[in-house]
């Protein structure tokens, strides 16, 4: 019983939506990324004290009817030992036909995050 309680507590601490270490991330970040197919998209990443969201947006008219765009999805932020951030955009939990996204980000300046999706596609975000 004690082990189960300890495991649940550690799991909650390690997998919280945004931790105290992420306090410097709090704010609105916007930028660009490419899909696995090479299509350019816009992104909005918002981090608050209570959690984080990711909104993908189409560029131009392609994809405007896609229900997975222009919708804020919850994000799980995990810090890596090397200082990088691992993000899990939980799109499928909100809308089953949308796919989850996983990406790694590194802070290259106080106002810039750069990284890659699990597929290798690049992403960059600037604080607004």
Average pLDDT for 112-122: 93
Q: Structure tokens of 46?
A: 């918002």
Question: Which alpha helices (H) appear in 1-128, and where do they start and end?
Answer: 2-14, 91-94
What domains sit in the chain, N to C, each tagged with a CATH number? 17-127 (2.40.128)
For residue range 39-79, list pLDDT tens digits in order. Answer: 889 999 999 999 999 999 988 776 778 899 999 999 999 98
Average pLDDT for 81-86: 84
Does 95 score more than 90 pLDDT?
yes
Does 3 score more than 50 pLDDT?
no
Q: Which of 22-31, 69-78, 88-97 has the lowest mean pLDDT?
A: 22-31
Which DSSP letter does residue 100 get? P
Please report the DSSP string for 20-62 in residue order. GGGGGG-EEEEEEEE-TT--EEEEEEEEETTEEEEEEEESSST
Q: Three-state SS for 57?
A: strand
- Give residue 81's pLDDT: 72
Does 27 score more than 70 pLDDT?
yes
- Give residue 59's pLDDT: 85
């Amino acid at each position: 019983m004690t082990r189960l309680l300890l495991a649940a507590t550690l799991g909650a601490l390690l997998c919280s939506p945004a931790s105290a270490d992420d306090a410097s991330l709090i704010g609105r970040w916007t930028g660009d990324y490419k899909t696995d197919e090479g299509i350019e998209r816009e992104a909005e990443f918002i981090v608050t004290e209570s959690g984080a969201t990711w909104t993908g947006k189409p560029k131009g008219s392609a994809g405007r009817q896609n229900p997975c765009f222009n919708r804020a999805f919850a994000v799980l932020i995990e810090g890596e030992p090397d200082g990088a951030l691992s993000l899990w955009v939980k799109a499928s939990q909100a809308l089953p036909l949308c796919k989850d996204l996983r990406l790694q980000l590194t802070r290259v300046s106080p106002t810039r995050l750069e990284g890659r999706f699990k597929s290798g596609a690049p992403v960059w975000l600037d604080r607004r």
